[in-house]
Each structure stands twice: as structure tokens, then as C-alpha cells.
Chains A and B, each alone.
Chain A
Amino acid sequence: MDRSSRPRSRGLAPVVAMAAAAALTLAGCSSSSGGKKAEEGAANASAGKADTPRMTVALVTHQAPGDTFWDTVRKGAEAAAAKDNVKLVYSADPNAGNQANWVQNAIDQKVDGIAVTLAKPDAMKGVIAKAQQAGIPVVGLNSGLSDWKQLGLLEFFGQDESVAGEAFGKKLNTTGAKKIVCVIQEQGNVGLTQRCDGVKKTFEGTTDILYVNGTDMPSVKSTITAKLKQDNSIDTVVTLGAPFALTATQSVGDAGSKAKVATFDLNKDLVKAVKNGTIEFAVDQQPYLQGYLAVDSLWLYENNGNYSGGGEQPVLTGPAFVDKSNVGKVAEFAAKGTR
């Protein structure tokens, strides 16, 4: 014992010393501003917990990995699950075939309810019918406003992308915009295209479309810069996601343009930008609410047989505009990543 432990401790000493030195260095370089220390203090809203029997709900979305928007949906769903004594099973895949497999997986697990997004409704038709045959209630959220009823879903929570786009266009008319560019970060995405089409429909000026590579920020930045230089009459850049709006403000600076930036969707950095005026306004479809209501509605259906919208109408969660006039209220929730 002695023999083996002594050399080991000798070998360990330099490691410990190095770790200690590293810790000291870290402490020595501490930042006097920003960082985690500045953030701490934001408490989470806590609610009671239902005493209904434990049930399992599967939430299956078409989220691409690492998307801030879907993260908020998931947080809403988790909040409802915690409150309703629900075990939440979350799975996602942007590929429709794979998403359908996740629904099948949920059916195999014999969950008590399924909440699903219908980005590609036709691909989901088969598994949704299977779930219904298995007696599992299915609700829709986010995408699929035009198809949920036809597929026999109980209820739907989301935003009509075209309606949101149209509202966006009307709002732009009031800001005096004449020529806008609508930046699409994923070519061929139905929802994003509907947004730009909606804007185009009600906006009285000219609308140009610009596709950018959403997975490469420097490329997004330089492509928007290029567009602004190519056409210096553009007075507003419309982006379809919060991170892209923040990048667009940099492009505006780089291009020496006077264009304003307005966007769909929110995150906490974007709220800050609205507050200090670098971004005109954002339209929020309240992803947290979508996730929350989808899970909560399944709980209500299971325990009290209710359905929102009476099974006839969708429940719209957007468009809710966030601009300088109401950003203060939103900011405190956004800082927690729940709005």
C-alpha cells in the first residue's frame, strides 16, 4: 500500500500544482464587467404542481439542432409538464421522414398524448392516423395551420405565417419604408417563404428576396452587405430569425447604408437591440406559449375532456409586435430565455 501510494502522490503533486496555478490565473483575469455574475439574480417563476396521475406526453418537432427558437418552445413545454405532473419526451428532426419515425417511436412507447409540428403535413399523415388508431390524442403546434383539421388533430396552437407576414407588411407601411429586402436563411422552407410572401402582399413598396446560408454567420453578414451595396435604395432589412437580425445590423454598418432592421422572432439579445433602437421592431409568435399550451392542452383533455378552439378554430399565439413602446415588459422575460 505504502509503496504504491507514495509514487502516485508524487506524480499527482505537479498536476495539483498546475491546477491550482490555473485556478489562480483564472481568478486573476476575472472580468470586471458583464459575464455570469452580472446575470445572476434572475429567479424563475415557480408554480404549484398538479396532483393528477402521472402521464407521458411526446413533443415531436422539426427543430434543426441548436435553434434558439425551438429551445424556447421546449422550455414552455417543460414548464407545463412540470406543473401538470407530466413526463415530457422531446424529440426532433428537420427531416420529415425522421420526424415521422419519432412519432412512431412515441406510439410504440404508448404515451398518453402527442404534440407534433406539421412542417411537412403529407409526410406526417400516416403516423398521425396510426396514433389516432392507438387511441392517443394528437395536437398540433407551430406549423401546419392549414392542415391540422384535415388530419384530425384535436387542436392547434401557432401563428399563421401568412397572417404574420401580412401584419408585418402593414406595420412597415406605417414606418414609411419604400424598399425592403426579405432575408431567408433556409432556401425552400415553406414557413419562411410564407412570411416573406405575406409581407410582400400588404407592403406598399417594393420587396426583394435574398437567400443567405444560415449556418455560416460571416457569409450571412457579407451577403446582406453585398445586397445593400448593390441596391442603395433599400431602406429596411427584414430578417426571419433573431440572430440574423443582429447580424444584419452589422451589415448595414459595413455597407454604409441607412437601412433599418426589423425581424420575425425574438431572443434576449434582440430585445436589447430593440431597447437601444438598433432594431426597429420584432414580431413574436410566442414560441414559449406554443410549447406550453400544447402540453397543457393534452393534460386538460386527459383530465377534463376540454379542447381549446372548440376543435374548430386554431389558437393563434401570434403575431405579437415588440417595439420600443412595450419592450421593457418583454425584456425581463427574454433575459431568462423564456420569451
Chain B
Amino acid sequence: MTNISNNLFSSYVKNEELYDEIYDSNGDIKDVYKKLFSLYGEHSLTNFVKLNSKAKASFFNQGITFQVYNKKATQEEIFPFDLFPRIINPEEWDIIEKGSIQRSKALNLFLWDVYHEKNIIKDGIVPIDLITSSANYLHQMENLDPPGGIYNHVSGIDIIKHKDGKFYVLEDNIRCPSGVSYVICNRTALKRALFGVFNHYQTYSVTNYAENFLELLETAKPNGVDIPNSVVITPGIYNSAYYEHSYLAKTMGIELVEGRDLFVENDFVYMKTIKGPLKVDIIYRRVDDLYIDPLEFNPESVLGVPGLFAAYKKGNVTLANAPGTGVADDKAVYTYMPEIIKYYLKEEPILNNVKTYHCSRPKDLEYVLEHTHELVIKPVDESGGYGISIGNKLSKKELKKVKKEVKENPRKYVAQPIMSLSVHPTYIEETNSFEQRHIDLRTFTVLGKEKEFVLKGGLTRVALRKGNLIVNSSQGGGSKDTWVLKK
């Protein structure tokens, strides 16, 4: 059972097979968590249940919700939020922060190279077909210099702690990584519900994201612009991340626009205001590559702005993130990250990579087909946790199907050993008790011209279903407030 003796945690069961974040290597509760347990222990279960529903109501009333479509009508639901925070000590955070910056910078240099000289390919570090066969490679970006030399202004890096206690990167998200507003909402909700606990910990604030982001974004302004006019572009109020778009625009104090609010004239971008057109210099876009400009990409798109890409090509507007970044967060490129970091930065990678098998390589494919039952099979170009098969969870029939699919489209898949994500005590409503659940961490790194910023916190995502390893919100995941402690 457990060695925590208080009301709330008395039934917490520790599974020895898993790496539990609250215990140290001797099996004792870590010092940083001891205080937290005694503070939480002061609440009775009924009291805690009350706090939990109050926190949920606060999210609901603030309209921090997403739409769920069922048979009858659309319903609004909140993103599940857990009241027990995750604590990251200063030493651990140091590794995470440095590692996140290192990866983001390496990815930026990689993107520049891939869309210009392609030295990394000429030098034989990364095979050419990895790039040319990627669905996210945009030939339109070739030899185009993005303002400030930045491609991935924002990077969301998904990091886990494995059984061995080391940090591994699972994924780099450098297209339109989302979730940062939840970091801030989670903190607000926890402060409202359990304000007392903050007195006992020196935790970094997370509310400074927007101002840092805007400052860094504006360092990559187009040439010749003095004070840039920045906007956030959203697909609209029905997008599942709309709350985040509006939150970021509001806290940065800039306009939130839709495609129909903008137009392009003589390769400059303007927005339609109540006082006529106003030039736009920087666009933080939350619209996918293929939808940003119907003239250049998907002609069916109504979310984009006709002529936007031509204006970008002329260097008259900054797009953040740059189009075509998807080529570098491809899961097949991921496997080369250690080499990519060494190649551009002449440094050893700070965060580990998970061993990955490329199904496009005959030898790897052979291994994958033989060991499918003990691997995770991932499509290279999907996000949101879709299309992932976890070998040891599949039936014989399903295994057969996956193998067939991999054999037919080897370029589409990579495989990795099943990583055991660390677990953290999470309040489960069905059982009214705390249980172990798998977690990961998404960090948010912002690159500016010769400057960078990592949000000291990040989004801890929890797989709420027992035993589940997929933490994405689209797959029934929740989140936790994440405390980075000051030294």
C-alpha cells in the first residue's frame, strides 16, 4: 500500500513496476512532496470533492471549454484538471530548460539548411529521401529567408521521464503547438482552490509567457518596420483551441483576426478596421500551413488570406511559425535529432531520444515486424496521438492488421520501444481517491533573434484512463499545474 498516512491519500497504491514521481530511489516520499501531502491531508475527502467541483465550475464559467458533439446537440466540456500539482526541482528543470533550448535551436538551423544549401544531406548525416518524401516539406519555402532567420518561433517539446529516471523527448511540435493557455489557467484554478499551499513553496510564475512571447516575436519583424503591428490569426470561434487564441491575443494586447479580416495589396498585408485598412507586420498564426493562402496552397481554404504567401516571400510580413516547419517535427526526422544537434551546435544532446526504428530501412522493418508486440508503432505525420498502436495492447487480429499496414507503407511508420511514462498521484472521480496515472510534460520554448525564452512550468498532461499511455486531450487526457521551484 502506501506510506502516506492521511485522509486523502490513505488508499494510494504504489505499483513497484512504475516510476512514481513522488518517491525517491529508496522508496521514501521525496522531501518536496512531504509538505504538500501534509497540507492536502488537512482536507477531508468531502471537502476535497467540494474544492474539485468548485475548480471545475470556475473553468466552466470562464468559458475555458471545448465542444463535444453527440447525437442530440453540441455540449461544452471543460478540460479535465487535476488539483494535485507536479513539482519539478531546480536541478531537473535546468536539464529540461537547457535541453529544450538546444533542441529548438538545432531544429531552427536544420530548417534553414533544409530549405537552403542542404549541407546536412550533402554531408551524409540525414538521407535525402527523408526530406523529399515528407508530406510537410514545402518546395515554396526553398531559398526563402524568413524575417530574423527564425522558423520555429514557438516549439512545444514533449518530454517524459522513463523508468530509468532520465528525461526523454517523445516528440517535437513545431507547427502550431498548443496548450500554453492551460498552463496559466491551471495555475489560476489551483490558486483559487488551494491558495494556502503556495505560501510554502517558491514557485516560478507562469503568467509572464505572453509578454515574453510578444517581445521575442517582435525581434523577428520584417526589415524596415519600426514598431510592428502584430496579430494572432485563428480559424474562428469553433476551433477547439479558440480559447487559447483569444487568451494569447488578449494578454499580448494585440488583435485576434480571422482570414476574412485580412487582405493583401501590392504584397503588403492589411486588416480591415473600423477606420479603414491598417498594415500588419507580424502574424502569429494558428492556422495550418495548407490553409494560410488559397492561392499558394489548398485552393479550397476559406481560413486563409489570398496573397499572404507572396507577401511573406517578399519579406513584408513575419509568419510565426514559418510555413514548412512540419518537415522537422516529422517523427522520422526525430530519430536523427542527436545527429542534428551534434552537426549544427557541436554539442552533445542534453535530452535523450527514444531509440527509433525506421520502417523504411529494410533491416529495421524486419526487426519491427518481428517485435511488433513489444513496440509502439507511430505514423510519422500525424499529431494528437492519432494512429498510434501500442504493441502489447493489441489483439492477435489487430497485430496482424498493423503489420500488414506497415509492410505496405513502410515510409509512413516508425517504431519505438514501449516507454514507461512516469506516474503521479491523480484524483480519480469515479473512485473518489488518488491513483497513479502516467504523465508527460510539454515545454514551451520561444526563439527570437539572438534571444530565447522557456516558460518555467509547462503543461503536465495526465492520461486519466488507468494504464493508458496516451496523454493527449483528444484521447481522454487531463492536465496538472506544474511547479518549477526556485533555487
Chains A and B belong together in one complex: no
Q: Which residues of A contact B (CB under 8 A)?
A: none
